[in-house]
Amino acid sequence: MKSTRYFVSRKNAFTWLAALMAVGSAVMQILALCFGQRLTGWNVFFQKVLPIWCALGFAFILIVRGPKTLYRSTKPVFWACVYFGQIALDWHMRLAEDPNAANGLGGGYALFGYMRYVIACWVIYLAFYFVYRFFMTGRSKRLLVLQIVTLLPFALLIYDFINSVGALELFGVFDKLANLLLVGALFVATLAMRQFTDGKYHPTWGDRSDGRRVRTIDGMSVVANYIMPNRNGASNSINGKIEISNVERYIHKKRAEGMENFGIFHVILAAYVRSIAKYPGCNRFLSGQRVYQRDEDIQFTMAMKKDMRTDGEETMIKLHLTQTDTTKEIYEKFNKVYEEVKSTPLDSSFDAVAGALASLPGLLLKFVVWVLKVMDYFGKIPKFLLEVSPFHASVIFTSMGSLGIPPILHHLYDFGNLPVFIAVGRKYRKQEIDADGSVVVRRYVDYVMNCDERTVDGFYYATAMKYFHKLLRNPEVLDEPPEEVVRDID
């Protein structure tokens, strides 16, 4: 069953009403503290700081993140359940000191007993949270059920407020009103929730900012990620060669059409992008022992020298491509980035970040890199750092042809999430015997592809590479977008 994702629109009046009620709850908590409620120790945190944070956080998520990532509202809902559970526990602790305080607590304590009542409350609150999370992570389309589940505690709080407001001190009125508004905000928010109907994937818990988690891979693939925790130790290499007669004719044709710097590198990159359109598993990556998919975003990165000298400056470039890009579009995107880096005397974003890190003392730099690895493991590296990092991409290319040497077998990096490293060598001629027995001279280019075997199996890579070779035998098909773009598994 396909997952359902929910959102709230800023154009919906219920969205703003829910946010206003949540802010009102925070205000009531502050007034309760100001008008005489005396709290000490951890109670200040659990009964005031925590609910205020939950209320303001819920309001913020509704207005700012609700249109795209409403699932993040599960966090303030969870801590709100902890807050209500703490209230029950606090009453139990008061009763231990003064048994007469039970007179105004209602029949719940008499029915269950003091501690059993607390446990029952915690079970109910946590069950409520898991129901909410069940919906927010896309496991049900029955939104009416969630609305009923949130309406029940809201109605009970209204009943309790009406029946007890006359006997409460002013701070008690504010306190109960704060709880009523907090739960009411959640109920009203469910009235504003709608399902995405655009057919696109929308993020949820477990996804990263640079990819969605692949959740339906087989068990062996999950276990292998823990048996082989390092990328370099889980890499396999493929050596191959490409007969480039058709590719060279294609290159001459493109140059005649005005694409002056068009070369074999552009053709190979276009063929690889087209292979991902048919075999999207090649665009997966592994991070934190979990497999992710970049979907439409194919991130290409490579090292380049600003000057072809042994002491020339080296920098890294990153290019964002899509499965539908044609050869012309890839050529234009690549040349735009290449010329920007080549022509500017200033450092690129990558150079600036690398320079800042290099200026740190060695011990501090080691600590910073460790922190970045931990953040990367949990998918918490900021987007701007992911954008400049050459170690976070779909594939990294290096061309040895410009250096006049064969392709190298390059290792994968244990930092970052690069799953594929492709090295392309120089062109060379080879005499071969044709089908009719005559000797012919053909031109080839060798390549080495180093892959992380934990993302897809060898059969998948082999099938994708056969298709890659098929495209290079007939590169004209790369002039048009693919007829079909295959979506990877969920």
- Non-local (6+) Cβ contacts of 159 within 8 A are none
- Predicted confidence at residue 103, as pLDDT, reads 46
d(CA 348, CA 355): 10
d(CA 469, CA 243): 9
With beta carbons less than 8 A apart as the criterion, state whether 273 and 323 touch. yes
- Predicted confidence at residue 409, as pLDDT, reads 87
d(CA 261, CA 337): 14
- Non-local (6+) Cβ contacts of 321 within 8 A are 273, 298, 299, 300, 330, 333
Residue-wise pLDDT for 266-325, tens only, equals 999 999 999 999 999 999 999 999 999 999 999 999 887 666 555 556 778 899 999 999
User: What is residue 442's three-state secondary structure?
Assistant: strand
d(CA 346, CA 356): 15
User: Where does the pLDDT of residue 104 fall: very low under 50, low under 70, confident under 90, or very high at 90 and above?
Assistant: very low
Q: Torsion angle of alpha carbons 387, 395, 379, 374, nearest 10°?
A: -100
Residue 250 phi/psi, 5-degree rounding, is: -65, -40
Closest by Cα among 478, 431, 192, 460 to 331: 478
- Predicted confidence at residue 111, as pLDDT, reads 42
With beta carbons less than 8 A apart as the criterion, state whether 321 and 275 touch. no
User: Where does the pLDDT of residue 233 fall: very low under 50, low under 70, confident under 90, or very high at 90 and above?
Assistant: confident
Helical (H) or strand (E) element with 286 = strand 284-287
Q: Using alpha carbons, list the distances in angstroms from residue 264 to 225, 244, 256, 277.
A: 35, 9, 15, 20
Residue-wise pLDDT for 433-475, tens only, equals 887 888 888 899 999 999 999 999 888 998 999 999 999 999 9
Q: Is pLDDT of 258 > 50? A: yes
d(CA 38, CA 31): 12
- Non-local (6+) Cβ contacts of 217 within 8 A are 291, 489
Domains and CATH numbers, the chain: 6-195 (no CATH), 212-479 (3.30.559.10)
Radius of gyration of the chain (CA): 30
User: What is residue 466's three-state secondary structure?
Assistant: helix
d(CA 248, CA 472): 10
d(CA 196, CA 21): 25
- Predicted confidence at residue 275, as pLDDT, reads 96
User: Where does the pLDDT of residue 44 fall: very low under 50, low under 70, confident under 90, or very high at 90 and above?
Assistant: confident
pTM (two decimals): 0.83
- Predicted confidence at residue 438, as pLDDT, reads 86
Q: Which residue would you say has higher pLDDT here, 120 or 415?
A: 415
